[in-house]
Chain A
Amino acid sequence: GAGVSQSPSNKVTEKGKDVELRCDPISGHTALYWYRQRLGQGLEFLIYFQGNSAPDKSGLPSDRFSAERTGESVSTLTIQRTQQEDSAVYLCASSPDGYNEQFFGPGTRLTVL
């Protein structure tokens, strides 16, 4: 079956511009996560959606970052007024119920010039 997909795979933008990153989770997975991996670093939790509950936004680094999810389907991560330190690979993962293993997408490599 189809895994987690993310688009675009690569995004180059200029400092100050807004970007939107998309994640399509595995069908039927109620939990969806966004992570960020900066060069040479581990994965950093950003935000978590579980069903119809309010999202856990505790990992978002600033108010320039926001994310939405349509029901139990696609999610978009928006970064406003991008900064060079936002350059990273942004990874999305989904899980059947939020308790078990997370399945990751291939990531979006964001480069802010």
Chain B
Amino acid sequence: DQQVKQNSPSLSVQEGRISILNCDYTNSMFDYFLWYKKYPAEGPTFLISISSIKDKNEDGRFTVFLNKSAKHLSLHIVPSQPGDSAVYFCAASPIIQGAQKLVFGQGTRLTINP
């Protein structure tokens, strides 16, 4: 049972344009969401997060949108740069006392074309 789904295994975007990565979840107990970026042969690195009390969080070129009613979140990167080419994972967690077990999606490979 895949509780966090990234239905697009890959995405190709031209440099300078907007990249939109999507993520859907099924567990209504999830109330904290994160995006991680992963380069080959490296561990994932934290990019941006959002809690369920917000519907948008922005950090520089990266913005995460959360639609709780649709159980959907998206990551917008604008403008896209060649260094953004990586695999992006969304993750979700129910914030329960003393733990933050993350459930990850399968990842989307983003390629930025010059």
Name A's B-contacting residues (CB within 8 A).
Answer: 4, 31, 33, 35, 40-45, 48, 50, 53, 56, 59, 91, 93, 95, 98-107
**Can you spell out 24 A-B residue pairs with CB atoms less than 8 angstroms apart?**
A33-B101, A35-B104, A41-B106, A42-B4, A42-B105, A42-B107, A43-B91, A43-B104, A44-B104, A48-B101, A53-B98, A56-B99, A91-B43, A91-B44, A95-B100, A98-B98, A98-B100, A99-B100, A100-B100, A102-B102, A104-B36, A104-B45, A106-B41, A106-B42
Could you tell me which residues of chain B, from 62 to 114, have a CB within 8 Å of some CB in chain A? 89, 91, 95, 98-107
Q: How large is the interface on B (under 10, 10 to 19, 20 to 34, 35 or more residues)?
A: 20 to 34
Contacts of A53 in B (CB 8 A): 98
Partner of A45, one of B98, B103, B106: B103
Q: How far is the CA of A92 from the CA of B49 in the complex (A)?
A: 20
Contact check, B98 vs A50: say whether CB atoms are below 8 A apart: yes
